[in-house]
Chains A and B, each alone.
Chain A
Amino acid sequence: MASPMRIRAAAKEGVTEVRVLMSHVMETGQRKDSSGALIPAHFITELTAKHNDKVVLSAEFGPSVSTNPYLAFKFNGGAKGDKVAVTWVDNKGETRTDEVQVS
């Protein structure tokens, strides 16, 4: 099962800054294991961030995004206590959603 993300969302002067750390191997499909066999690609392909119910960011990732991906972005508005939710889906169909309150 996918591990939780670490999401921080802080509102300041009308702008909410969101920082996300995802727990994911982001395997490129080009590396070999110790026996010489290719390790199959396994990486996050899509990510959606929502402020309450409004989409504030959608992203597509390829395998060259680093392991345990980091993402930071900002959107206008957002107040203490609002919800910010991030969902990712990977190429194996695994998905994970985590939610935090804006601080």
Chain B
Amino acid sequence: MRKQLIAAAIGAGVALASPAVFAQQDLNFDEYRAMLEDGNPAELYEMEGEELWKTARGPKNATLEQCDLGLGPGVVQGAAAQLPRYFADADKVQDLETRLMYCMEKQQGIDPAEIVNGKFLQGERRQMAALVAYVVGQSKGEKIAVDLSHPKMKEMYALGEQAFYYRTGAMDFACSSCHSQDGKRIRATQLPNITKPEGAAAGWGSWPAYRVSNSQFWTMQHRLWDCFRQQRTAEPIFASDVTIALSVFMAGKGNGAEAQWPGVKR
């Protein structure tokens, strides 16, 4: 009798589970995504960014070719895979955008306020997005290798973790409301579980990305800004500590995984 009950329970379990499994298969976009990877329109931005990197601009009429992204002046190959990092010259933890902004100020004389107070997809922020595409493209296939040993990196990681779980806004949402369980989705879009290394790597390692829905290239600052917006909370200031901290948290958790930059998203 007892055995029968167990068998029945298992049978019911299977029956209940199967429609869900079918639905999951039905929404399998792996084939679609694989087909988009070759010829990702983000390459157009990479090309523009590479040109921009070598173009003399700003009040100092200089290029960015002496910009140190952490591996020495002018070294772009592999640099993004190790960002964010602590930079002694700035005495700050900087992500890619913050570091580019620093270089644009120091080398070219471009006022950071133009970027911080600007709008995404416009003006200097648009220029920076192209630079970001170029730099991350030079780390495609590299392993994420963020050095968390510096005390300021540890501090940022802790702040990032705190921010990730911090509930706020009209809906009382945290990042973790959507990104701390496996198999969650918004409509058909799968949401990575960022509390696990593979989820963090999936998120961190596939942004910046080209979005086919609006034909736009989004940097990680842009992605995070939109997460805050979706959370119905105050917009974060561009390149502010909380945005860098969240990046340190994600990148640190994703350490060791291969970066697929730049990504292509629905």
Are A and B in direct contact (Cβ within 8 Å)? Answer: yes
B-contacting 9-mer, from A62-70, A73-81, A89-97: A62-70
Within 8 A of A (CB), among B218-235: none
Are A70 and B39 within 8 A (Cβ)?
A: yes
What separation, in Å, do the CA atoms of A21 and B40 have in the docked complex?
Answer: 8
Judged by a CB distance under 8 angstroms, whether A12 is at the interface is no
Judged by a CB distance under 8 angstroms, whether B44 is at the interface is yes
Judged by a CB distance under 8 angstroms, whether B215 is at the interface is yes
Contact of A19 among B38, B41, B47, B48 (CB under 8 A): B38
What separation, in Å, do the CA atoms of A23 and B48 have in the docked complex?
Answer: 11
Interface size on B, residues (CB 8 A): 9
Judged by a CB distance under 8 angstroms, whether B241 is at the interface is no
Judged by a CB distance under 8 angstroms, whether B212 is at the interface is yes
Are B47 and A6 within 8 A (Cβ)?
A: yes
Judged by a CB distance under 8 angstroms, whether B68 is at the interface is no
Are B44 and A6 within 8 A (Cβ)?
A: yes
Are A3 and B39 within 8 A (Cβ)?
A: no
Judged by a CB distance under 8 angstroms, whether B43 is at the interface is yes
- Contacts from B to A (Cβ < 8 Å): 38-39, 41, 43-44, 47-48, 212, 215
The total of Cβ contacts below 8 Å across the A-B interface reads 24
**Of B39, B47, B212, most A-chain CB atoms within 10 Å:** B39
Are B215 and A68 within 8 A (Cβ)?
A: yes
What separation, in Å, do the CA atoms of A11 and B197 have in the docked complex?
Answer: 40
Judged by a CB distance under 8 angstroms, whether A4 is at the interface is yes
Q: How far is the CB of A14 from chain B (nearest CB, A)?
A: 22
What separation, in Å, do the CA atoms of A3 and B52 have in the docked complex?
Answer: 13
Please name the residue on chain B nearest to A25 by beta carbon: B215
List residues of chain B with CB within 8 A of the CB of A3: 44, 48
List residues of chain B with CB within 8 A of the CB of A66: 212
List residues of chain A with CB within 8 A of the CB of B44: 3, 6, 21, 23, 68
Q: Mark A23-55, 1 if CB is under 8 A from B, else 0.
A: 101000000000000000000000000000000
Are A4 and B47 within 8 A (Cβ)?
A: yes
Judged by a CB distance under 8 angstroms, whether A57 is at the interface is no
Are B41 and A21 within 8 A (Cβ)?
A: yes
List residues of chain A with CB within 8 A of the CB of B43: 6, 21
Judged by a CB distance under 8 angstroms, whether A72 is at the interface is yes
List residues of chain B with CB within 8 A of the CB of A23: 44
What separation, in Å, do the CA atoms of A68 and B47 have in the docked complex?
Answer: 14
Are A72 and B39 within 8 A (Cβ)?
A: yes
